[in-house]
């Protein structure tokens, strides 16, 4: 008998009496202002939220924020000429030099500041992790209250996706919080009007 | 008869030698527990969420075989290679075979308590494979050649001076440097190089979703993703109890997990893996290693509902003052003490006794496991099975006699109190394990019950 069969057989034999799934398992978070909550939570996890009126405004903002930076990459068509690092690489290891990446993402979650990004928005899964600094661009109206709403909204059928909430961090040395463990050292979220 | 190899009580004596250090450990974990309290109180639906999570997990236990088969079908359709391992040995051999097949001799690994349980690192190293732990805390304990002392905070037993000295020796940081920012930066540089040069990555699994055939890995550092997305081969290892039915159930569990663990509203990264990226191979090893036996123990099956948040450790007065290593098991603390005897009753007979049965663990558990009841029940099983050394056995027998007879309980308490007042040395001697490093409290002149009876009109 294979290990698979052994395990399944033993499980079948030993499993407890049947119970049913709860039918109601989602909850509402009646925030007065979803965007305010989103901003407040992100501020607490060292992430700036910037509201821009349009992609042109985004471009102006970005140019002013990353003046002397080299190795800038983006997936936003309107920022293509701002970037100086092409994402057209065959091997994801080549992305190692990227200093800042500005990436389109799908939506944000107010209760925890997480943003959903997936294969839908990326050629290279490692990009949001390997870049030294990270910025997400999402539509201003693409915010949900909590994780139940987030999974309701999630229609992603791609092979990989991630909720990312703030920059990478660790507190493994005496519980002192340090930003920039393995992933991005800083995070900015642009909310674009319309 | 001395069956127990290392005793929890003995090991915690060593831990308790430096009083200020133990105080620090105690207070730091209590601080983490308080962050959990604050965070959970921000959600009015917190208790309902716990109840819901508990019910989902009950369903999982009672439909485990169906869920595993559905998961298998969907995962395979996603292009994931699925493996089944009845025990630790088979798990380790499967991992080794995958690595050999790809001629990989060096691998990066993110946090996986299962591989600790299986002692995988030792096995792979013996077989010529270099394994680098990439979670900062795990890397620290790996360099010290010791196991993690906490499932969420692996290096919580160390002070920054210890880590500074360690990094000076291994990573060439300045002698005497202890700034956490500086030390973390050194580890970041050191591990980036590993991420960029290793072709295989192993990760744990927090949740596997039957409906989608995918799995979710949660980290704060981003190390699981860095490893997996750069490697040609991604191996994920999971105990079979990690399965949940629907993707939308993640809404319940992700809301509970980080809040219970550290008080964060969610971990920085909650990565949903479903299909390998182009050109990559993805393997998933589903491990039993005693779980199907535990599933068949009505009193202990609930331990399989655990989502490994660590809250029961942070709140446990015994864990906080004895440290994770005193539990001599991959998973320490209250939950570890329920899981360990299932693996080896003789070796782990002491662990269910490393508890005051205060119930704090059960109160914080996000999936409502009746942890302290299970600890109490294990004691009976272990004593009846003859796994407990005599000294403790007598104590336990006396204790259950006392507790099962309310009259005797009242009387013996009164007697105990007067013994403590008149003959304190009898209690404060080394025969009483609770006296170790502790002054026994001043005994009250009368118990609450006596007081209540006297004051009742
Ligand atoms: S038993 Fe409960 S509290 Fe303890 S680690 Fe598991 S889920 Fe968390």
Q: pLDDT digits over B128-159, tens only?
A: 999 999 999 999 999 999 999 999 999 999 99
**pLDDT value of residue B451:** 59
Closest Cβ opposite residue A129 in set B43, B86, B225: B225
Q: What is the mean pLDDT of residues B378-407?
A: 66
Q: What is the mean pLDDT of residues B351-357?
A: 92
- Tell me how close the Cα of A181 comes to any Cα of chain B, in angstroms: 5
CA gap B404, B427 in Å, rounded: 23
Give the residue with greater pLDDT, B444 vs B332: B332
User: Which residues of chain B make contact with A89, given a CB cutoff of 8 A?
Assistant: none
Closest Cβ opposite residue A92 in set B191, B230, B292: B230
**pLDDT value of residue B6:** 63
**pLDDT value of residue B18:** 84
Q: pLDDT digits over B236-252, tens only?
A: 999 999 999 999 999 99
CA gap A186, A179 in Å, rounded: 8
Atom 8, ligand 1: which residue's CA is nearest? B309
Which of B51, B58, B258, B306 has the most ligand 1 atoms within 8 A of CB, as the residue to mutate? B306
Please provide the CATH number assigned to the domain covering A31-192.
Answer: 3.40.50.10420
What burial letters (b/e) apply to A37-58, b meaning 16+ CB within 10 Å? bbbebbeebebebbebeebeeb
Closest Cβ opposite residue B184 in set A112, A154, A181: A181
User: Which residues of chain B make contact with A122, given a CB cutoff of 8 A?
Assistant: none
Q: What is the full DSSP assignment across B9-62?
A: HHHHHHHTTSHHHHHHHHHHHHHHHHHHHHHHHT-TTHHHHHHHHHHHHHHHHH
Read off the pLDDT band of B13 (50, 70, 90).
confident
Contact by Cβ (8 Å): B321, B22: yes
Q: In the 8-state DSSP scheme, what is residue A190?
A: E
> Is the Cβ atom of B366 under 6 angstroms away from ligand 1?
yes
Q: By mean pLDDT, which of B7-21, B58-72, B258-272, B296-310 is the weakest?
A: B7-21
Residue B255: is its pLDDT beyond 90? yes
**pLDDT value of residue B440:** 47
Q: What is the mean pLDDT of residues B289-302?
A: 97
Residue B423: is its pLDDT beyond 60? no
Using CA coordinates, name the residue in chain A closest to B53.
A25
A191: helix, strand or coil: strand
Residue B301: is its pLDDT beyond 50? yes
Q: Which atom of ligand 1 is nearest to the CA of B260?
A: 8
Using CA coordinates, name the residue in chain A closest to B151.
A172
Domain locations in chain B as residue ranges: 8-158+199-292, 405-455
**pLDDT value of residue B5:** 52
What burial letters (b/e) apply to A62-82, b meaning 16+ CB within 10 Å? beeebeeeebbbbbbeebeeb
Average pLDDT, chain B: 88
Q: What is the mean pLDDT of residues B24-28?
A: 94
Percent of chain B exceeding pLDDT 90 equals 79
Domain locations in chain A as residue ranges: 31-192
**Ligand 1 center from residue B372 Cα (angstroms):** 12
Residues in chain A where the model's pLDDT stays below 50: none
Q: pLDDT digits over B60-103, tens only?
A: 999 999 999 999 999 999 999 999 999 999 999 999 999 999 99
Atom 6, ligand 1: which residue's CA is nearest? B306
CA gap A87, A89 in Å, rounded: 6
**pLDDT value of residue B9:** 85
Class of domain B8-158+199-292: alpha beta
Atom 3, ligand 1: which residue's CA is nearest? B365
**pLDDT value of residue B390:** 59
**Residues listed for chain B:** 457
What burial letters (b/e) apply to A100-114, b meaning 16+ CB within 10 Å? bbbbbbbbbbbbbbb
């Amino acid at each position: 008998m294979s290990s698979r069969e052994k395990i399944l057989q033993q499980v079948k034999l030993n499993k407890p009496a049947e119970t049913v799934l709860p039918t109601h398992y989602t909850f509402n978070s009646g925030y007065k202002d979803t965007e305010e909550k989103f901003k407040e939570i992100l501020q607490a996890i060292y992430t700036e939220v910037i509201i821009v009126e349009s992609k042109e405004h985004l471009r102006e903002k970005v140019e002013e924020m990353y003046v002397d930076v080299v190795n800038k990459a983006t997936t936003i068509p309107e920022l293509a000429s701002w970037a100086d690092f092409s994402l057209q690489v065959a091997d994801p290891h080549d992305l190692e030099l990227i200093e800042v990446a500005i990436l389109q993402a799908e939506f944000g979650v107010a209760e925890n500041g997480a943003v959903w990004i997936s294969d839908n928005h990326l050629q290279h899964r490692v990009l949001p992790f390997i870049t030294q600094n990270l910025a997400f661009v999402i539509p201003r109206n693409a915010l949900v209250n909590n994780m139940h709403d987030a999974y309701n909204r999630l229609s992603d059928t791609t092979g990989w996706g991630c909720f990312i909430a703030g920059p990478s961090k660790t507190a493994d040395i005496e519980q002192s919080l340090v930003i920039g463990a393995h992933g991005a050292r800083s995070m900015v979220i642009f909310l674009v009007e319309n | 008869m001395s069956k127990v190899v290392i005793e929890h009580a003995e090991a915690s004596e060593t831990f308790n030698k430096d009083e200020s250090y133990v105080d620090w450990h105690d207070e730091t974990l209590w601080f983490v527990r308080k962050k959990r309290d604050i965070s959970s109180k921000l959600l009015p639906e917190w208790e309902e969420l716990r109840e819901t999570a508990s019910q989902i997990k009950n369903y999982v236990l009672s439909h485990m075989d169906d869920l595993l088969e559905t998961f298998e079908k969907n995962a395979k359709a996603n292009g994931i290679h699925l493996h089944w391992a009845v025990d630790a040995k088979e798990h380790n051999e499967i991992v080794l075979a995958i690595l050999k097949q790809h001629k990989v001799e060096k691998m990066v690994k993110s946090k996986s308590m299962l591989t600790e349980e299986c002692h995988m690192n030792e096995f792979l190293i013996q077989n010529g494979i270099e394994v680098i732990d990439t979670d900062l805390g795990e890397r620290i304990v790996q360099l010290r050649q010791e196991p993690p002392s906490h499932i969420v905070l692996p290096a919580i037993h160390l002070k920054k001076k210890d880590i500074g000295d360690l990094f000076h020796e291994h990573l060439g940081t300045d002698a005497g440097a202890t700034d956490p920012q500086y030390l973390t930066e050194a580890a970041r540089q050191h591990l980036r190089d590993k991420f960029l040069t290793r072709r295989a990555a192993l990760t744990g699994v927090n949740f596997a979703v039957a409906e989608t055939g995918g799995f979710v890995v949660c980290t704060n550092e981003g190390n699981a993703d860095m490893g997996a997305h750069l490697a040609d081969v991604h191996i994920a290892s999971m105990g079979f109890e990690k399965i949940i039915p629907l993707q939308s159930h993640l809404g319940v569990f992700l809301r509970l997990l980080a809040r219970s663990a550290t008080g964060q509203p969610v971990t920085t990264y909650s990565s949903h893996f479903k299909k390998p990226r182009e050109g990559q191979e993805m393997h998933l090893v589903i491990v039993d290693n005693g779980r199907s036996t535990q599933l068949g123990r009505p009193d202990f099956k609930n331990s399989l509902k655990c989502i490994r948040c660590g809250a029961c450790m942070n709140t446990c007065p015994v864990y906080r003052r004895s440290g994770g290593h005193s539990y001599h098991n991959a998973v320490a603390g209250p939950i570890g003490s329920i899981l360990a005897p299932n693996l080896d009753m003789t070796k782990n007979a002491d662990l269910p006794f490393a508890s005051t049965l205060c119930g704090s663990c059960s109160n914080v558990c996000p999936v409502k496991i009746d942890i302290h009841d299970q600890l109490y029940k294990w004691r009976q099983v272990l004593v009846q099975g003859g796994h407990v050394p005599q000294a403790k056995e007598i104590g336990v027998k006396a204790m259950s006699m006392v507790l099962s007879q309310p009259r005797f309980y009242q009387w013996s308490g009164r007697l105990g109190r007067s013994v403590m007042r008149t003959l304190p040395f009898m209690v404060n001697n080394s025969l009483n394990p609770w006296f170790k490093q502790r002054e026994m409290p001043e005994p009250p002149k009368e118990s609450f019950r006596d007081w209540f009876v006297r004051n009742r009109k």
